[in-house]
Structure 1
Amino acid sequence: MPAVPPQGTGGAAPPAEPGYAPPAMLRRLRWTWLPGNIGFNLVWGAVTGILMALQVQEIDPDGKVFNLALLTGAGAAMTMVVQPIAGRLSDRTRSRLGRRTPWILGGALAGGAAMVAMSQAETVPGLLVTYLLVVIGYNAALLPLSAILPDRVPEAERGTFASLGSVGQMTGTFGGQILASRLSDTPDLAYWLVAGAALVIAVAFVAFNPERPATGLPAGPLGWKALLRSYWVDPRANPDFAWVFAGRFLLMAGYFVSHSYTLYILQDYIGLGDTAADWVPALGITTMVTVVLFTAVGGPLSDRTGRRKVFIYVAGAVFAVGLAIPFLVPTLPGMFASAVVGGVGYGVFASVDGALMTEVLSAEEGYGKDLGVINLAFSLPQTCGPLLAGGIVGLAGGYAPLFPVGAVLAVAGGFAVAFVKGVR
């Protein structure tokens, strides 16, 4: 947690709504934070993991690979566009329900309606339009939901809340995949159920955690130039923010470079051939269980010790060790060992990084806009990582170099936070 005020605040006034939640409300928020994060992530697990792929296959079986890549790429690009804008607009929202609540509820409603429309799409262009509406709706809700953490949670408890949020995200994503796969014969029903569950969870969350009215908060004019600045945080004025962004970007690049072609790695590098697909779910479950366990441990331990950076150092190093295993031992047991060790590193990183990034926000008007920018450090590697990995495989003529490249990126990401001055 910060030993001195995060750089970039310049000793200025805190954001428009600086008060943390009273103890009773904080306890309620703690118990609802995990399920609150499950709801919207059910959507991503179900739609991007299963349902959209099934629809694409039904619409155009021969072009399914290209069409699915087109849809997921467009969705990732739209996410990068929407999140900073949604954060800035929620910071400046003035309503009786507060700043974040209208966006959480409105996004859940809009995203749910788009999911219903998506379930009826019968062409790839129709699927593209409705999927982008789903992405816009739910991202407009997710970013304001994330901003509740720095809005209301004291720095000393943010590691615990970040752990709960990360566990909720992974549980929701995996749960959405399970629900959609069980209802794969009735995808329309799956769309409706997931959309309904996300809406019910969103309504319950804001009902249990009401915001203070924001109608009396000051708000200046918002022009197009100011809106475009939603995508920028000056690294010279906010160096701590810049280093945390760089660390997250590098470590996530290491992850996506090394994990984008898991099926092909199992087929060709490990040599499993046609049986490789049978092992992908087992590897995924192994990783998820390990990540969840160490996500639950990392954040609270970081709170207890009052330190963030050392956990990020360790996470990057452990994740790199996990990537070294299949490079040195290219066997199926080596891949499972990598899933466990890498899951430890990623789990610690996911929980502590979630707290660290809230402690370097510039908070000129509110935290939403800066959260939207720092989330680009996840979205950009997610979009570009597979392309970089493909280039490496093409140049090297094989998959082996993906592991050392990913390991170097992970170590660099872990140690980038050494330059952060305002957080221990």
Structure 2
Amino acid sequence: MIAWSLVQILFNFAQGPLTAIMPDRVPVRRRGTFATLTGIGLMGGALAGQIIGALFFDSLTAGYLFFAVFVVIAITLFIVFNPDRSSADLPREPFSFVDFLKTFWVNPIAYPNFFWAFTGRLLLYTGYFAVTGYQLFILTDYLGVESPASVIPLLGLISLAGILVATIISGPLSDKLGRRKIFVFLSSAVVGLAMLVPWIAPTFESWVIFVAISGFGFGMFQAVDQALMSMVLPSAKSFAKDLGVVNIAATLPQTLAPGVAGIIVIALGYAGLFPIGIALSILGALAVWPIKAVR
């Protein structure tokens, strides 16, 4: 538990600054397309990790070593081939630890657009990962699949196909139409509606349908949400910090959702995950509409 907590912390040390690259370097009119590429990277990586991880089902030590080496190589290649611009000539403000801590509070009254975008992402991620984070146990204990390790790679590929189709279409279309909110709203709604299928019909076939539809919805969300977030940031001087705060809305649910889902399963059974996931996803969709700064 201690080692895995350190892994999560250190991954987010890297992920926070990575999110600042888009508003730092990409013009507003192209951010939907760029968000498509980052969305493919995020979800493609997550699903590829799931597929590869299933291959190490009976050899966890080898699996951890493989991913440890892979991460070091990937980050090193990124740093070498995508260097930062020099900041030597930029003005340097005096550092104050108190001021540093204050920057992590973003006033929701002063910056309501940022608050609603953050809330929408937090709700959708919590609903989505509360269900998908328990996929292994849903397959074995709820749907009666005898050898889940043999079907998880297939499910990952199905989800990846839905994500790729959605991201390739949604990001460029969002740029062309100049609209972000409708795509985020529809993606949250699609993920919520997809959860109806295994809730109503608890079979492996229904889970396959859920994986495909939710993958499409989540891909649409990943393609546009990052672009929307970059347009509601409180200050152009603190992209990295503000997007680091935004990143909490993505990483916190992935960390806490399994624990919350475990309590739900104990209290209501696996079937109880789906209505709660649906409610959170729909609330995430509704949270987008009050945003005024983005169409």
| TM-score, normalized by the shorter chain, greater than 0.5 | yes
1:358 and 1:387 map into 2 onto residues whose CA distance is 30
TM-score, normalised via structure 2 length: 0.90
User: Partner of 2:165 in structure 1?
Assistant: 293
Aligned length: 291
User: Partner of 1:195 in structure 2?
Assistant: 72
1:185 and 1:256 map into 2 onto residues whose CA distance is 26
Give, in angstroms, the shift of residue 344 of structure 1. 1.0
Is residue 2:253 matched to residue 1:378?
no
Amino acid at match of 1:195: V
1:366 and 1:185 map into 2 onto residues whose CA distance is 40
Is residue 2:21 matched to residue 1:158?
no
User: Partner of 2:150 in structure 1?
Assistant: 278
Give, in angstroms, the shift of residue 361 of structure 1. 0.4
1:362 and 1:193 map into 2 onto residues whose CA distance is 35
Give, in angstroms, the shift of residue 159 of structure 1. 0.6
Change (3 A) 1:252 1:197: closer
Give, in angstroms, the shift of residue 74 of structure 1. 4.6
Comparing 380-389 with 300-309, greater Cα deviation is found at 380-389
User: Partner of 2:3 in structure 1?
Assistant: 71
Q: 1:343 aligns with which of 187, 209, 215?
A: 215
TM-score, normalised via structure 1 length: 0.64
Give, in angstroms, the shift of residue 257 of structure 1. 1.3
User: Partner of 1:359 in structure 2?
Assistant: 231
2:199 and 2:63 map into 1 onto residues whose CA distance is 42
SS class of match (1:375) = helix
Is residue 2:201 matched to residue 1:329?
yes
Give, in angstroms, the shift of residue 198 of structure 1. 2.9
Change (3 A) 1:412 1:195: same
User: Partner of 2:109 in structure 1?
Assistant: 236
Amino acid at match of 2:137: Y
Contact 1:312–1:415 (CA<8 Å) still a contact in 2? Answer: no
Change (3 A) 1:419 1:163: same
Is residue 2:130 matched to residue 1:261?
no
2:120 and 2:65 map into 1 onto residues whose CA distance is 41
1:221 and 1:323 map into 2 onto residues whose CA distance is 50
2:237 and 2:264 map into 1 onto residues whose CA distance is 42
Comparing 365-374 with 178-187, greater Cα deviation is found at 178-187
1:214 and 1:373 map into 2 onto residues whose CA distance is 23
CA RMSD of aligned residues (A): 2.4
User: Partner of 1:31 in structure 2?
Assistant: none
- What are the Cα deviations for residues 372-406 of structure 1, in whole angstroms up to 9, with x where unaligned? 0011111111122111111111111x100111110
Alignment of 1:165-176 (within 5 A): 165-175=38-48
2:128 and 2:45 map into 1 onto residues whose CA distance is 20
Amino acid at match of 2:193: V
User: Partner of 2:292 in structure 1?
Assistant: 421
- What are the Cα deviations for residues 305-337 of structure 1, in whole angstroms up to 9, with x where unaligned? 110111111111111111110001111110000
User: Partner of 1:408 in structure 2?
Assistant: 279
User: Partner of 2:95 in structure 1?
Assistant: 222
Change (3 A) 1:203 1:172: farther
Change (3 A) 1:179 1:393: closer
Amino acid at match of 1:199: T
1:186 and 1:267 map into 2 onto residues whose CA distance is 22
Q: 1:308 aligns with which of 174, 180, 183?
A: 180
Percent of residue pairs identical: 39
Change (3 A) 1:253 1:188: closer
1:407 and 1:178 map into 2 onto residues whose CA distance is 26
Give, in angstroms, the shift of residue 169 of structure 1. 2.6
Q: RCO higher in 1 or 2 (8 Å CA, sep ≥ 6)?
A: 2
User: Which sections of structure 1, spanning at least 5 residues, go unmatched?
Assistant: 1-66, 79-134
Contact 1:176–1:194 (CA<8 Å) still a contact in 2? Answer: no
Amino acid at match of 1:245: F
For the pair shown, the structure with the greater C-alpha radius of gyration is 1
Amino acid at match of 1:319: V
SS class of match (2:271) = coil
SS class of match (1:400) = helix
1:191 and 1:297 map into 2 onto residues whose CA distance is 33
- What are the Cα deviations for residues 127-165 of structure 1, in whole angstroms up to 9, with x where unaligned? xxxxxxxx1xx5444332321211121111101000111
User: Partner of 1:106 in structure 2?
Assistant: none
Contact 2:113–2:291 (CA<8 Å) still a contact in 1? Answer: yes
User: Which sections of structure 2, spanning at least 5 residues, go unmatched?
Assistant: none
